Amino acid sequence: MARILLIVGGGIAAYKASELIRLFRKAGHAVTPVLTAGGAHFVTPMTLAALAESPVYTSLWDLKDESEMGHIQLSRAADIVLVCPATADLLAKMAAGVADDLATTLLLATDKPVVVAPAMNVRMWLHPATQRNVARLKADGVTVMDPDDGAMACGEFGPGRLPEPEDIFQQVVALVSVRPELVEGLSLATGSLALAGHHILITAGPTHEPIDPVRVIANRSSGKQGFAIAAAAANAGARVTLIAGPVALPTPGGVARIDVETAEQMAAAVEAALPADVAILVAAVADWKVAPSPVKLKKSAGPPALTFTANPDILATLAARPQRPRLLIGFAAETENLVANATAKRTAKGADWIVANDVSGDVMGGSHNQVHLITAAGDEAWEAGTKDAVAARLIDRIIQELA
Ligand code: CTP
């Protein structure tokens, strides 16, 4: 059971917050609604209170509320904060750190993950000011969902529609599911169940390091190998948390997915997902980042001089933590001296196993892989196969190891 603080902004999509409350309540989660002054033009406190079976908070200056539950406490009592719908105005205030009403004060005071589901006119969404605010919020660690595309209430067409309530529900549940006590029945165990009762943490895909609001430093990782391992682990009955960089892949069944963009966000999501029995770090994490410009760099200013600083090494950090998973597995992407480099990486990073792949061909982005498994006992060359086959074999080995 998760406690969700739901901030309802002032837009025509506010009525969909009611549908969302129904979804959360049906799944056994608690919702505390906070209605902005704008939101109250579209939906009444009475509707939200009745559906949420909870008091609805509207004003910072309501002294009764303040004596019963201070705004700081209100923001901390939740497991997650959801802003739905998030208007252009709310996004701008959040990005600037403005706190001039109850909703924005809560957003500034909270220490919990924040998810925003934007809904606004297409021009307002595409406006550089809004895009800049969204980039800022993402860099601050806020999960900003992409609005849906389509016909809008105002008669225009394009991105800006509120994402489907079901999708918002899934995103919130995925983010809170890193705390297993919050979500019941999330492990949709299928298949052999040999990994039932085990929590497996997987990173996959590339990371994107922003240069400015539109440009990123990226790499060719598709996420296919990591997603295949997540699917195989879920099939074996494990509870799987998959932390994915920007990839275009569907979430395997029974897997709780958390989408991140940067290496720092991935490191934070890994941290939040602990403890885990096994961690398999498949992601091609960017080793370096730059301090992103808040505005688009103009071509007329000439080629920028980018100064790189190091990103955290997620694998090495995890290996050194007291909460180190019992079995810690890294990957090694090499273009030369595959086994020697991967063997050195195993020791240097403190991993139990390294899955080494030669990425000089089309392994990154492709559907096939040929790997070596490096353990303390030495090196095993596995025959080439699909990424699904490599995943199945790795999960098999993990089952043997844990037995
Ligand atoms: N890794 C990580 N955090 C980083 C970089 C890498 O957790 N900042 C993890 C990867 O997920 C993988 C392993 O470390 O499991 C090895 O990644 P790889 O890219 O092969 O090695 P690097 O550490 O980046 O070293 P190099 O680029 O010099 O080969």
Give the bridge partners for 328, in sequence order: 279
The answer to pTM > 0.85 is no
| CA 316 / ligand 1 centre spacing (Å) | 9
pLDDT (tens, 9 = 90+) of the chain, 403 residues, equals 789 999 999 999 999 999 999 999 998 899 999 999 999 999 999 999 999 999 999 987 764 655 656 778 888 889 899 999 999 999 999 999 999 999 999 999 998 889 999 999 999 999 999 999 999 998 888 889 999 998 877 788 889 999 999 999 988 887 776 444 333 333 333 345 789 889 999 999 999 999 999 999 999 999 999 999 999 998 888 999 999 999 999 888 878 899 999 999 999 999 999 999 999 999 999 999 999 999 999 999 999 999 999 999 999 999 999 999 999 999 999 999 999 999 999 999 999 999 999 998 889 989 999 999 999 999 999 999 999 999 999 999 999 999 8
- DSSP for 183-214 reads STT-----TT-TTTT-EEEEEESB--EESSSS
**277 near 202, Cβ under 8 Å?**
no
Q: Check 37, 72, 151, 154 and give the catalytic one.
A: 154
Distance separating alpha carbons of residues 12 and 33, to the nearest angstrom: 17
* CB of 358 closer than 6 angstroms to any ligand 1 atom: no
Pocket test for ligand 1, best of 207, 242, 265, 287 (most atoms within 8 A of CB): 287
Burial 377-400, CB ≥16 within 10 A → b, else e: eebeebeebebbbbbbbbbebbbe
Question: How many domains does one find in the chain?
Answer: 2
Specify the CATH number for the domain of residue 104: 3.40.50.1950
Neighbouring C-beta atoms of residue 295, cutoff 10 Å: 12
> Is 183 among the domain residues?
no
Residues 61 and 152 in one domain: yes
* CB of 328 closer than 6 angstroms to any ligand 1 atom: no
From the list 30, 5, 212, the residue with the least C-alpha distance to 103 is 5
Q: Is 84 a catalytic residue?
A: no
| CA 4 / ligand 1 centre spacing (Å) | 35
177, 200, 225 - which closes a domain: 177
Residues 223 and 336 in one domain: yes
> Is 98 among the domain residues?
yes
> Is 184 among the domain residues?
no
Residues 143 and 212 in one domain: no
| CA 278 / ligand 1 centre spacing (Å) | 18
**160 near 147, Cβ under 8 Å?**
yes
Residues 127 and 195 in one domain: no
**382 near 371, Cβ under 8 Å?**
yes
* CB of 270 closer than 6 angstroms to any ligand 1 atom: no
> Is 381 among the domain residues?
yes
Residues 92 and 169 in one domain: yes
Pocket test for ligand 1, best of 313, 352, 374 (most atoms within 8 A of CB): 313
112, 144, 177 - which closes a domain: 177
> Is 44 among the domain residues?
yes
| CA 6 / ligand 1 centre spacing (Å) | 38
Q: Tell which atom from ligand 1 comes closest to the C-alpha of 349.
A: 14
Q: Which structural domain range is residue 87 located in?
A: 3-177
| CA 285 / ligand 1 centre spacing (Å) | 6
Residues 259 and 389 in one domain: yes
Distance separating alpha carbons of residues 281 and 332, to the nearest angstrom: 10
**222 near 247, Cβ under 8 Å?**
yes
**378 near 348, Cβ under 8 Å?**
no
155, 177, 199 - which closes a domain: 177
* CB of 332 closer than 6 angstroms to any ligand 1 atom: yes
